[in-house]
Amino acid sequence: MGSPLLRLEGVTKSFDDADSHRVVLDDLALEVDSGELVLIMGRSGSGKSTLLNVISGIDLPAKGAVYVGDSNLTEMSETARAKYRLSNIGFVFQFFNLIPTLTVEENLVLPLELLGVDKKTKRDKTAQYLEQVGLASRRHSFPDQLSGGEQQRVAIARALIHEPKLLLADEPTGNLDSHTGSDVLSFFYDLAEQSRVAVVMVTHSKESESYADRIFDLLDYGLELRK
């Protein structure tokens, strides 16, 4: 077995304000392999979203290191982290974060535009990923013309279109009904298994548990593997 795709070593994160020093993550360790779907469970405010921001390099830990493949994100400049994230990490959010003034197709093309991908590749990849999420017929629709489940599938396609090594999902079913949420979770599971993408999903949804390879609870600022 090869090296893990994602590795966290001794990650600590805290926040200071005028009145207090608040620890959110304390000496946290985690390894995730390619093709694995890992759930991070925890109550609201437990630090799950902060953990994803640290994994992606949006935030830096106060101590410790974050490796994606052979790259140590904590040693990169902010510009280098942003460039690395654009090429190697996909992000799916609870509130979809689609640009309302762009069509479905235009939302998908945006990451490829930022990467300077040529016109034919953009066209081919957009068609491929819209087909993969079952929305080829909605390519010219705007986000507000789609259901919540359709919007989330567009968001997933946008997160995947640049073929990242690592996909991070922040409460991706939080705004969906249970049936639609199950469809989205099944898609994540199939994605990890078939495309060998490492998926880390933070949630407090019990319905997510049956789709995970491993489940960790974020408790007392650290991760505890669910037996």
- Quote the distance between the C-alpha of residue 139 and its chain's center: 23
| 3, 11, 42, 141, 173 from 176: Cα distances, Å | 35, 32, 19, 20, 5
Whether the predicted pLDDT of 17 surpasses 80: no
Average pLDDT score over the chain: 89
> How far is 68 from 51, CA to CA, in rounded Å?
14
Confidence label for 73 from pLDDT (cuts 50, 70 and 90): very high
State the average pLDDT over residues 82-102.
90
Enter the pTM of the model: 0.90
Whether the predicted pLDDT of 34 surpasses 90: yes
Please write the tens of the pLDDT for every residue from 164-191: 999 999 988 888 888 888 888 888 888 8
Q: What pLDDT score was predicted for residue 1?
A: 52
What whole-number percentage of the chain has pLDDT above 70?
99
State the average pLDDT over residues 124-138.
89
Nearest C-alpha neighbor of 51 from the set 208, 201, 183: 201
In order of start, what are the domains of the chain with their CATH numbers? 35-59+79-225 (3.40.50.300)
Q: Count of alpha carbons within 13 Å of 142, Cβ hemisphere only?
A: 5
Please write the tens of the pLDDT for every residue from 202-220: 988 888 899 999 999 998 8
Nearest C-alpha neighbor of 55 from the set 166, 205, 148: 166
Contacts of 164 (CB under 8 A, 6+ apart): 87, 88, 89, 90, 197
Confidence label for 2 from pLDDT (cuts 50, 70 and 90): low
Please write the tens of the pLDDT for every residue from 50-61: 999 999 999 999
Query: Position 74: which residue type?
Result: T
Query: Position 177: which residue type?
Result: D
Of 138 and 45, the one with more pLDDT: 138
State the average pLDDT over residues 64-71.
94
Nearest C-alpha neighbor of 160 from the set 93, 111, 106: 111
- Which three-class secondary structure state does DSSP give residue 50? helix
